[in-house]
A and B are shown apart, each in its own frame.
Chain A
């Protein structure tokens, strides 16, 4: 039953392999609203959490096209609006526009990617429920946390706790919302 008073059940593991195994078992058990907190990217979690979000990459691509066409438009317009005959050279030489076009492609793509990644992750967000958990500071050190969120239809404070304890978690804790 979904629960709005709590954020979720947080289980601590010592090894990344144990966390991956626990996540797989939780998934098999029917839990869907799962997250993990790790000190570095852990391989294999993406498949288990069924992460298929490619929006960051699409944003990078869109940014690249935006930058490219912005650069071409800018360079063509300035030469159109202020034409200088430099030794009879063409006013719209693509070879001369290539460098700035490439630079802006990269600039826009990088900016879209970086800002898009933060925005999709909902950052910056300085306050977040898990920060209140007493052992959570270890998630940036050497512990690996699995969280079954209270929003999950199968979430049940006592059943979920027993389930996580049986998976071999070091500590299990209910995090208030």
Chain B
């Protein structure tokens, strides 16, 4: 039967031994192979990071007026890019946690860099509300501390929920990433010859020795963290959608928003995971571990989440027409035919039209094609958030409060800067830590071997 042959076909070649895999993966930080290309990438990213700091300095010295936001579009790039980055982050957790719980072992080649992506995407997201505060040094007002002014933060506001959701998400992501990393740090420690590396990995591996009793507790903890992380992702992005949906602005005030946002987040995140997977396997020549089959399955997931996001688009329009509220219908018309229609049709094109290429197996298995589709989705989802934000705000109930929005130079500078804020720490992490989970890859190899042996006996 073809179904069984599909299931038992190993995703990474079982020709490789445990020892090969360990040496290959642990040697990436210890004997870094692609110094030149990595340094070029780091230099370019550092320039972007520099731009980030310049833009933030200008913002802090001159105030949020340097951005293009104004009444009525007073949320603009700050929350637009916040949602975009946070959404990208979610796919890392979903790949790692959801697929672990579902027993999809192919994730073992992808989870490490996907989780790393999550960490820094969340950092990029989290800086935006802080930058937008206007007086960012008062950030601690968001936390309940016994103030001499005898005031407390307002927990009935979605803006306050956001603080807790993002802080929790970042902390849990770090814990999950680190707990999964510890055994690999021990493997790298045991391969290290230079004193500096020995101390570095020795300290961070916490003295992990692979004791069976430790593994048993580790498995309990890892699976429990995964089980916590999945609903956490859903709750965090639902909460983000509530920032919009609990306002009464036409185009926002809809119950479709939480699932629509969660799907869109997974969609954009899987797109970026696919791009990173392709870049990393090319950079470190890891085609034996991140195989064409991985790209194939990533392409399928991307297509599936994309179609679910498309359902959100359809339902949003249906919602407005069925509800019959004149301002809701007006907003739909503004989106489809207004002066920002390019953001709507741009989102439709880059998200869903280009995506249709993934129906073809050969497209899914061609790295550059999948990379371009991933890039297209990242752009499309960026346009989607712009569309949701601006087309709702620039014309709401009162004609007297209608206005326009154009991002300023410093808006763009800050946004491009966050790409540096993402890339620089990401490049540093793939420089010093094993970029693919060593022990989970070995676990997968061992299982494949057992399966093969079982087939031979059967």
On A, residues with C-beta under 8 Å from B are 16, 35-42, 45-46, 49, 51, 53-54, 56-57, 60, 74-75, 78-79, 81-82, 84, 86, 89, 93, 96-97, 99-100, 102-104, 106-107, 109-111, 113-114, 116-118, 120-121, 123-128, 130-131, 137, 139-142
Q: What interface size band does chain B fall in?
A: 35 or more
Chain A residues whose C-beta falls within 8 Å of the C-beta of B404 in the assembled complex: none
**CA–CA, A126 to B153, complex, Å?**
43
**CA–CA, A41 to B211, complex, Å?**
9
**CA–CA, A141 to B209, complex, Å?**
11
Taking a contact as CB atoms closer than 8 A, the residue among A37, A41, A49, A86 that contacts B218 in the complex is A41
Knowing that A100-B161, A131-B209 are A-B contacts, what are 20 other residue pairs whose CB atoms are under 8 Å apart, sorted by A's residue number? Answer: A35-B211, A35-B212, A37-B212, A39-B187, A40-B439, A46-B212, A49-B216, A51-B212, A81-B150, A82-B150, A106-B228, A107-B171, A110-B175, A110-B228, A113-B225, A117-B217, A121-B211, A140-B183, A140-B210, A142-B19
Give 22 A-B contacts (CB < 8 Å), ordered by A residue: A35-B212, A36-B212, A41-B219, A41-B443, A45-B212, A51-B216, A60-B224, A60-B228, A75-B155, A81-B152, A82-B152, A99-B165, A100-B160, A100-B161, A103-B239, A106-B228, A110-B171, A110-B225, A114-B178, A140-B183, A141-B190, A141-B191
Q: Which of B111-119, B199-207, B369-377, B384-392 is near enough to bind chain A? A: B199-207
Chain A residues whose C-beta falls within 8 Å of the C-beta of B187 in the assembled complex: 39, 140-141
**CA–CA, A126 to B208, complex, Å?**
8
Are the CB atoms of B213 and A51 closer together than 8 Å?
A: yes
Closest to A97 in B: B155
Taking a contact as CB atoms closer than 8 A, the residue among B17, B153, B216, B440 that contacts A40 in the complex is B440
Taking a contact as CB atoms closer than 8 A, the residue among B164, B203, B211, B225 that contacts A37 in the complex is B211
Residue of B164, B206, B235 with most chain A CB atoms under a 10 A cut-off = B164
Chain B residues whose C-beta falls within 8 Å of the C-beta of A109 in the assembled complex: 224, 228
**CA–CA, A117 to B158, complex, Å?**
34
**CA–CA, A33 to B378, complex, Å?**
55
Q: A36-B212, A78-B153 are in contact. Are A114 and B175 (CB under 8 A)?
A: yes
Chain A residues whose C-beta falls within 8 Å of the C-beta of B239 in the assembled complex: 99, 103
Interface of A, secondary structure class, is helix
**CA–CA, A117 to B217, complex, Å?**
6
**CA–CA, A99 to B242, complex, Å?**
10
Closest to B19 in A: A142
Chain B residues whose C-beta falls within 8 Å of the C-beta of A79 in the assembled complex: 152, 155-156
B75 to chain A, nearest CB (A): 20
A-B pairs, 8 with minimum CB distance: A78-B152, A142-B18, A117-B221, A124-B206, A36-B212, A137-B190, A140-B187, A75-B155
